[in-house]
Amino acid sequence: MTKNPTIVFTAPKSVVIEDRECPPLAANELLVQTRCSLISTGTELTLLEGGWDPTSVWGRYACYPQVPGYSTVGEVIDAGAGVDKRWLGRRVATYGKNGGHSTYVVSRAADTRSIKREVPWEQASFFTIAEIVMNGVRRGQVQWGESAAVYGLGVLGQLAVRFCRLAGARPVFAIDVAERRLQCLPRDPAVIAINPRTDDPAAVIGKATRGRMADVVFEVTGSETAIPGEFAVLRRQGRFVLLSSPRGKTLFDFHDLCNSPSFTIIGAHNSSHPAAETPDNPWTCHRHAQLFFDLLADGELDLAPLVSHAVPYTQAPEIYRMLLADRSQAMGVVLRWA
């Protein structure tokens, strides 16, 4: 049997590479040889760190051993019964039924995204994050000429800034305490970087918007304690989009921070994508992936500056240790498999 090197979380803060058996292929499934996979420095590190409330979503989902990863790109090398053989040799993007960080992954054909344009493997591996952010920007109903504020400039936040601009928002305020992340922003006069350690976001945004404040705020820090303060930059009847997955509970004054200013609070989990295209909402995960690959291929989106690390998968244990110690020094972390 072909061996399948696989990254495994064996316990909190413990990462190993195991030679597992190649996953079996059932009907309507594809076997994909991985070229690149993207580490989710949010979700994966939360699961790897451990110590969650067992009654929370994190606590119910997490278990060991666990194969992490959900953003893999590669080539189809085999197809199960009932699958059109034209899939063979096709460049694809997939979550991977058996986990994303492994040499070979199995994916349901119906869930697999075709990459029909020539795009770099490393940038294509951002597709899952792109789908999440595209869905969040749509749920936030960002309109041409509106101002947006993005709190937290990890990969999701960086993409939120870029997709807000593509949707016509201006200006877009990009807010983070890490100068390294601020330096990754696109060189665009309509993107205004703010470091709260040196500048007051509300003052900067108030001045730049002539006192109107932000029409929509995107929370992408994942910090439950930071959330209440982020409403300070939002205009009355503005929209607050929770794009991150906070790790704990937030003490929240619903009168002062929701009812009185009549804010709209919007959840934007990836699962809120429609299951199928409809005339009312055609923007499924697949449709967003197609758009993402087109934006890359046409040069409207360049994610090369966001790839901070691209290393062989054999270095995965060291990379995870580095991320656990200080994830602010990383942006897009890509594992190369072939």
Burial level of 115, CB count in 10 A (0-12/13-18/19+)?
Answer: buried
Predicted confidence at residue 59, as pLDDT, reads 67
Predicted confidence at residue 329, as pLDDT, reads 81
pLDDT of residue 119: 97
CATH superfamily of 3-126+303-336: Medium-chain alcohol dehydrogenases, catalytic domain (3.90.180.10)
The string of DSSP codes covering 130-181 is HHHHHHHHHHTT--TT--EEEE--SHHHHHHHHHHHHTT--SEEEE-S-HHH
Helix axes 127-139, 155-166, angle to 10 degrees: 50
CA atoms within 13 A on the CB side of 271: 2
| Bridge-based pairing state of the strands 172-175 and 191-194 | parallel
- Gap between the Cα atoms of 262 and 278, Å rounded: 31
Q: Assign 294 to helix, strand or coil.
A: helix
User: Domains of the chain: which residue ranges?
Assistant: 3-126+303-336, 129-272
- pTM of the complete model: 0.93
Q: Please, what are the averages of pLDDT over each run of 10 residues along the chain (338 residues)?
A: 88 95 92 96 87 69 86 96 96 85 95 96 97 97 98 97 98 96 96 98 98 98 95 98 90 94 96 93 96 98 96 97 90 95
Looking at CATH, the fold of the domain delimited by 129-272 is given as Rossmann fold (3.40.50)
What pLDDT score does 100 carry?
A: 85
